[in-house]
Amino acid sequence: MKSTSQKFAHKSFALHILAELDTAFAPFIRLAR
């Protein structure tokens, strides 16, 4: 039970970081396209 909750927390944290990076790099990604 503990390992699954840790996995979920890690996954949500990673998704949060990805969302932050997505918003940070959105202008560059638009320029690259």
The string of pLDDT tens digits covering residues 1-33 is 678 888 878 888 989 999 999 898 888 888 887
Give the rounded percent of residues in the chain with a pLDDT score beyond 90.
15
Q: Which residues contact 18 (CB under 8 A, 6 or more apart)?
A: none
What is the reported pLDDT for 1? 61
The C-alpha atoms of residue 27 and residue 10 are separated, in whole angstroms, by: 27
Predicted structure pTM score = 0.52
Q: What angle do CA 9, 14, 19 make, to 5 degrees?
A: 125
